[in-house]
């Protein structure tokens, strides 16, 4: 297993592999997921030697100041082996190299302990607000 950062060109190259993974794990609208992948600038992906995907996250970023990690998931059979931590550490490190000062993600409180292991902490005094128009 290998964790790789992918830029937009590489995401396009492995689009179907990534799409198959998200489709298998999420089981939602394939066209919707495909559109999200097509509009992604950066992704961090866990591949096997045949380039089958077993974990991934997409990174929404302006490539300078802000980065937000979304759609982070590891295949259930691969959990508990450190792959999720490796994906997140790799993604955050690449964002830091680009100069991003605000690297975040959204999760449920039950996962705070997991994310704390890879240096993600609640942003005290701030809450995520969702637009309801």
Instruction: Please report, in tens digits, the pLDDT of each residue of the chain (133 residues total).
Output: 999 999 999 999 999 999 999 998 887 788 999 999 999 999 999 999 999 999 999 999 998 899 999 999 999 999 999 999 999 999 999 999 999 999 999 888 899 999 999 999 888 877 777 778 8
Distances (CA, A) of 23 to 15, 26, 69, 85, 119: 12, 5, 19, 22, 29
* Cα 116 from Cα 89, distance rounded (Å): 11
Short-list 60, 89, 84, 62, CA closest to 72: 84
Largest CA distance in the chain: 45
pTM: 0.91
Topology of domain 2-116, CATH: Aminopeptidase (3.40.630)
Domain ranges across the chain: 2-116
């Amino acid at each position: 297993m290998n964790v790789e950062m992918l830029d937009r060109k590489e995401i396009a190259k492995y689009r179907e592999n990534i799409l198959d993974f998200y489709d298998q794990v999420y089981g939602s609208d394939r066209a919707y997921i495909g559109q999200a992948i097509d509009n992604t600038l950066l992704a961090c992906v866990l591949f096997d030697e045949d380039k089958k995907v077993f974990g991934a996250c997409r990174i929404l970023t302006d490539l300078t100041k802000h980065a937000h990690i979304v759609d982070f998931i590891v295949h259930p059979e691969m959990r508990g082996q450190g792959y999720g931590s490796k994906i997140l550490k790799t993604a955050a490190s690449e964002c830091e190299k680009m100069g991003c000062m605000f690297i975040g993600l959204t999760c449920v409180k039950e996962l705070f302990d997991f994310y704390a292991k890879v240096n993600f902490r609640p942003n005290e005094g701030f809450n995520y607000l969702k637009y309801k128009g």
